[in-house]
């Protein structure tokens, strides 16, 4: 973190009312200077890490409750797994039949806003186009128009395949985008320089991006259920996290290739 120490001090020295203008840089500064502890504010990175953790919890829970004995009396579990399309039987059809779509009929206001609306930013435009042939903004409109707020909850107006598929993907897909991007950093750097003035002694935005990602090594995020997610730099140079849904370890890459043989460690 030594190369960024002065940079982080400059960010943290800004008046509190300016923190919201560079939320990502401010949170990175707080996390990096308080390694292995939870930042006081629930910022962008906390939200992204927590939503990924909740998706892993959901996937773990659904995998745990699948009962292949119910799949077919004619197809024992071993045959289903080894030859899922034998005699017309498809494993994915069975898994789909076990999904409880009723959970999307009524969603608490907090979960709806923090998970299903803010969570749209966890995925790339390519993800939405690939899965729905729609852009993120169009998906957001569909979600907002499909629910009505009543008594602290959002209730679905009309159940249809597209909205149910969107909500399902939002809750269980692990195709999340990078924890943060060079474009986000570049945008906030411009804002920071306009506020603080001066310049940054970094060769280019890609180098700064990697240094910021490296600064998250050994940082921990705490979840409401008591579990902790710890970030680390893998042997391949990725920023990764060890998540523990139901206390079962899952390792997920959060940002690829932030360190290689030419990247300084100090």
The tens digit of pLDDT for each residue in 26-73 reads 999 999 987 445 554 578 999 999 999 999 999 888 887 766 565 554
The percentage of residues in the chain with a pLDDT greater than 70, rounded to a whole number, is 79
Q: How far apart are CA 39 and CA 220, in angstroms?
A: 9
d(CA 139, CA 120): 8
Which CA distances in Å does 90 have to 85, 173, 176, 221, 258?
5, 20, 27, 39, 40
The residues that bridge with 239 in the sheet, in sequence order, are 233, 255
**Could you tell me the pLDDT band of residue 204, with boundaries at 50, 70 and 90?**
confident
pLDDT in tens, 98-130: 678 899 999 999 999 999 999 999 999 999 999
Instruction: Burial-class residue 101 by CB neighbours within 10 Å (0-12, 13-18, 19+).
Output: middle
pLDDT value at 86 more than 70: no
Give just the sign of the alpha carbon dihedral 247, 250, 252, 258: positive
* Mean per-residue pLDDT, 184-207: 84
User: What is the pLDDT, as a whole number, of residue 56?
Assistant: 95
Residues 6+ apart with CB under 8 A from 202: 208, 211
Read off φ and ψ for residue 175, nearest 5 degrees: -85, 45
């Amino acid at each position: 973190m030594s190369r960024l120490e002065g940079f982080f001090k400059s960010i943290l020295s800004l008046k509190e009312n300016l923190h919201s203008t560079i939320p990502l840089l401010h949170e990175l500064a707080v996390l990096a200077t308080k390694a292995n502890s939870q930042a006081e504010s629930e910022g962008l990175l906390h939200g992204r890490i927590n939503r990924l953790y909740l998706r892993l919890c959901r996937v773990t829970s659904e995998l745990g409750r699948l009962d292949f004995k119910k799949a077919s009396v004619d197809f024992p579990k071993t045959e289903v797994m080894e030859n899922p399309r034998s005699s017309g039987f498809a494993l994915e059809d069975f898994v789909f039949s076990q999904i409880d779509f009723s959970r999307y009929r009524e969603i608490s206001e907090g979960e709806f806003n923090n998970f299903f609306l803010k969570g749209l930013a966890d995925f790339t435009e390519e993800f939405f186009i690939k899965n729905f042939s729609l852009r993120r903004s169009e998906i957001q409109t569909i979600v907002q128009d499909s629910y009505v707020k009543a008594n602290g909850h959002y209730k679905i107006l009309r159940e249809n395949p597209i909205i149910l598929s969107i909500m399902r993907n939002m809750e269980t897909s692990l195709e999340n985008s990078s924890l943060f991007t060079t474009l986000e950093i570049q945008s906030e750097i411009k804002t920071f320089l306009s506020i603080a003035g001066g310049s940054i002694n970094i060769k280019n935005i890609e180098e700064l991006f990697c240094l910021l990602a490296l600064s998250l090594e050994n940082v921990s995020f705490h979840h409401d259920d008591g579990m902790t997610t710890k970030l680390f730099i893998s042997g391949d140079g990725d920023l990764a996290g060890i998540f523990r849904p139901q206390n079962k370890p899952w390792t997920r890459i959060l940002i690829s290739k932030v360190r290689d043989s030419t990247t300084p460690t100090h």
